[in-house]
Amino acid sequence: MTNDDTIGVLFVCMGNICRSPLAEGLFIHHARERGLLDRFDIDSAGTGHWHAGNPADRRSIEVGKRHGVEVPSIARQLDPDTDWSRFRYLLAMDRDNKDNMLFNGAPADRVFLYRSFDPTLKGEPEHRLEVPDPYYGEGDGFQLIYDMLLSATHGFLDHLGK
């Protein structure tokens, strides 16, 4: 982990261009609004390498912008050699991302599905806690994941405040 004063938070999806950068942007935005931003070391990553070095998908950037949330992330691939020790919370967008991290040696007590922090989903089975990948979808897919991530972000910040 980073140091005793900061809490490492890593958001993880498959390519690190849609879900995890939007979650990162939402977390930064709302942690700043609560006056807590300096307590965290925040990043996002993908389990795959396909988009490394690229900005977030334009649709994630656009949905964030509509809500006043900046999505500044640059995609990178998850790095087990450094990420497991740097981050206290490894927040997966879906079960495949979670399983991938566990398979690659992530400490199980640090890996969570992000929506498990959504208070409206308390007690739901894991398959109901996934954030679907909107990459190939049409319509309001990015707004749908924004809403899911927003609720999880508030729940996660409330959890951290306890």
Q: Which residues are catalytic?
A: 13, 19, 133
Cβ neighbors of 115 (< 8 A, separation 6 or more) are: 121, 129, 130, 131, 148, 151, 152
Query: DSSP letters along 79-137, please?
Result: -HHHHHHH-SEEEESSHHHHHHHHHTT--GGGEEEGGGG-GGGTT--GGGS-----TT-
For residues 59-78, b (16+ Cβ closer than 10 Å) or e, as one string? bbbebbeeeebebebebbbb
